[in-house]
Structure 1
Amino acid sequence: MSLSPDTLHPSLAPNFLRERLMAAGLRATQQRLLILECLLVLPGHPTAEQVHRQAVEQAPSLSLGTVYKTLDSFVAAGLTKRVASAEGSSRRYDADCTEHHHLFCTNTQEIIDYCDPQLDALIRDFFAAKGLSDFQPHSFSLHITGNKVLKD
């Protein structure tokens, strides 16, 4: 498997990928670099299968199991998040680890990122008012299921 600057997506410099892996405490192997690149360039919240299909174009011998293990190591290191799909049958991955919520469209199976500081404040205030003595939330992600409304 060859991962040269020529094979990387133009918007991703090799040092950027390497630095992200190293900041997460992971060695920057060629497989990890390739899988991270694929995760970052694929639209939306890709499945491991989608990452694998993209990656095998550059590394035909890369197994789906290796992609799953690598993505799981990314999750454990805080480099990505695992997101349940709207239908619940497949794991999806989100390279955006900032606080945000997800809207699940049951018609398209699309997962849409949603940020709203006012909603975040409401949720924090709600838990602060409840005074849960045996639980202290440090982060949260709201998952809302619905349908996109098409406008005429």
Structure 2
Amino acid sequence: MALSTDHFSPSPDAAHLRARLSQAGLRATRQRLVILESLLTLPGHPTAEQVHRQVVRQEPSISLGTVYKALDSFVAAGLTRRVAAAEGTSRRYDADCTEHHHLFCTDTQEIIDYCDPQLDTLIREFFAAKGLQNFQPHSFSLHITGSKLANK
């Protein structure tokens, strides 16, 4: 079981960003490069607005609409995932596309990554035993809402 504490990631180099976009079948435009870099370096699960605030520091002409379009193309290409926010009002994005779950703290609005192979096994076994008719699960992600307990 692992909880991820999010920190700022070091900036990936341009070659790495270009390669990621190319592998996903996307052209490496200047706008996409800056947006992807911001998404990868911002802590946690940023909103499009947070990515936009970061992006305009480098490219002041990039609009919020462009950020949304780029993030949506990243989701469609498998570069990122869209995550529902705890408050349910804004879309948040997760650059980590590995299998993991999300814990939503209703007090802080924080989204915490949670990995537990034993839980994943239980979920797979549960669905295998249920034999869902005409449906084969390929991946899953739990979204659990709660509150952090204060350390005593």
TM-score by length of 1: 0.93
Q: How does 1:1-152 map to 2 (within 5 A)?
A: 11-152=11-152
Cα deviation, 1:34-77, whole Å, max 9, x if unaligned, reads 00000001000000000000000011111000000000000000
Distance 1:74 1:11 in 2: 18
* Greater RCO (CA < 8 Å, at least 6 residues apart): 2
Gaps of 5+ in 1: 1-8
Q: Distance in 2 between matches of 1:10 and 1:124?
A: 35
Deviations 1:12-45 (A, max 9, x none): 1111111000010001110000000000010000
Question: Which letter does structure 2 place at the counterpart of 1:50?
Answer: Q
What is the CA–CA distance in structure 2 between the aligned matches of 1:138 and 1:63, rounded to whole Å? Answer: 35
Distance in 1 between residues matched to 2:71 and 2:132, nearest whole Å: 33
**Which residue does 1:5 correspond to in 2?**
none
Question: What's the secondary structure of 1:145's corresponding residue?
Answer: strand
- Number of equivalent positions: 144
User: Which is further off, 82-91 or 11-20?
Assistant: 11-20
Paired residues of 2:11 and 2:37 also in contact (CA < 8 A): no
Indicate the percent of aligned positions where both proteins have the same amino acid. Answer: 78
Q: CA deviation at 1:134?
A: 1.4
**Ranges in structure 2 where 5+ consecutive residues have no aligned partner:** 1-8
Paired residue secondary structure (1:103): strand
Question: 1:11, 1:58 → 2: CA distance?
Answer: 13
For the residues of structure 1 that align with 2:10 and 2:105, how far apart are their CA atoms?
31
Report the RMSD for the aligned CA atoms in angstroms: 1.0
Question: Bigger shift: 12-21 or 82-91?
Answer: 12-21
Question: Counterpart of 2:105 in structure 1: which amino acid?
Answer: C
1:93 counterpart SS class: strand
- Give per-residue Cα distances to partners, 1:55-105, cap 9 Å, x unaligned: 000111110000000000000000000000000000000000000000000
Question: After TM superposition, which residue ranges in structure 1, 4 or more long, deviate above 3 angstroms?
Answer: none
Tell me the equivalent position of 1:6: none
